[in-house]
A = this chain, B = another copy of it.
Amino acid sequence: VTNQGNRTQLTIAVDAMGGDFAPVEIVKGAVQAAQELGVALIFTGSVKDIEKELSNYDTSGLKISIVEATDVIRDGEEPALSVFRRPNNSIGVATRLVKEGKADAVVSAGNTGASMVCALQYLGTLPGIERPMACGAYLALAPKTVVLDLGANVGVKPSQLVNFAVAGSVFAKIFCGVENPTIAILSIGAEEGKGNEQVKEAYSLLKKSGLNFIGNVEGMDIVFGKANVIVCDGFIGNILVKYSEGLGHAISRWLGKELKGTLPMETLEKTSQMLYRMLSPAVAVGGGPLVGVNGVATVAHGNSKAPQIVGSFKNTIMAIETGFVSKLKAELEKAQKDIQ
């Protein structure tokens, strides 16, 4: 938000402490992003640790500051409770910088749930969205297909599925480069009338929503990318994602055993790993902004190294520069009017 010559320089708040390789890779990636993408940085976390990391790089000409955050919320900790008890955690401090207008966005590779709680608490959600959602093309097999919600919103009303459709549509346009995303409901048959009550009602709402709604799709259609946006209750989305993760682990291990001795060890390991990536959604979802938040809060992978952090910065900048949040807000309001 500072002016640099003619154009406004963006300022990104960075949780330096979150992620498997924090603070080393986070600081490294953020400095690289500052150099390559021309953004200003405000790190949050242990000033001492961050300064030590920064001393490894030539930061001349970069606009970098640090705000002390005394706490870190680790992976596996219960998000809501942790944020409530330790408000001075590095994600919370970084998110509040956005709320206070000191930063344009926040990036964290820490506890995803904590990022969601902080976004919800400090930035709030857009109209019709109850909880922020992590979004992305969750299967490498279907890189232009976004499935949501994946677990944040459980037991939702049919009208919420319409909001997911809007959110997914705006997301797919900006982040997957799909011009007019097709939208479908995940159900147990393609015909109208197939599914549970939630799906049937959402079907009739989506028909009059003005969105590019193509009807119901079934489980296999996720894999084959039959629609660009597939909406479902977070209960199902979460089960699907975790089921896929389990399959990824089990199948890649199985393949390793099955083909042992028939392939060079290196080829086999590479194939097993690729197979894991193909099946395991958590790995495929890239670092992107939480969807439905009234502000740009980016969640990067826990296992991000510097290049992935730079990637998360790129998505963050894209969200800011394309007006992702205001576009989504306008589309949500429009859809809610259309389905009334």
Contact = CB atoms under 8 A, between A and B. Distances in A.
Interface of A: 141, 151, 154-155, 186-188, 195-197, 199, 218-224, 233-236, 238-247, 249-251, 254-255, 258-259, 262-263, 267, 271, 274-275, 278-279
Contacts of A223: 243, 246-247, 249-250
B196 A154 contact: yes
Which of A154, A195, A243 has the most B CB atoms < 10 Å from its CB?
A: A243
A247 B246 contact: no
Nearest to A186: B239
B235 A219 contact: no
A246 B244 CA distance: 12
Nearest to A267: B262
A238 to B, nearest CB: 4
B239 A188 contact: yes
A247 B258 CA distance: 19
A243 B246 contact: no
Contact of A259 (B195, B238, B249, B271): B271
Q: Assembly of this chain: how many copies? A: 2
Given A141-B250, A195-B154, A188 B235 contact: yes
Given A251-B278, A258-B271, A263-B262, A188 B219 contact: no
Given A243-B243, A259-B263, 19 more contacts: A141-B247, A155-B197, A188-B239, A188-B242, A195-B235, A218-B238, A218-B239, A219-B241, A220-B246, A220-B249, A222-B243, A223-B243, A223-B250, A235-B236, A236-B236, A251-B278, A255-B271, A258-B271, A259-B267
A259 B270 CA distance: 11
Contacts of A241: 219
Contacts of A220: 242-243, 245-246, 249
Which of A220, A221, A250, A259 has the most B CB atoms < 10 Å from its CB?
A: A220
A202 to B, nearest CB: 13
Given A250-B141, A263-B263, A274-B258, A219 B196 contact: no
Which of A186, A223, A233 has the most B CB atoms < 10 Å from its CB?
A: A223
A153 to B, nearest CB: 11
Given A223-B250, A235-B196, A238-B219, A154 B188 contact: yes
Nearest to A141: B250
Nearest to A221: B246
Contact of A251 (B242, B251, B259): B251
A262 to B, nearest CB: 6
A155 B219 contact: no
A186 to B, nearest CB: 6
B224 A243 contact: no
8 contacts: A141-B247, A199-B235, A220-B249, A244-B247, A247-B279, A251-B275, A259-B263, A259-B267
Which of A188, A234, A240 has the most B CB atoms < 10 Å from its CB?
A: A188
Contact of A218 (B236, B242, B254, B275): B242
A235 B198 CA distance: 11
Contacts of A263: 259, 262-263
Contacts of A243: 219-220, 222-223, 240, 243-244
A254 B267 CA distance: 15
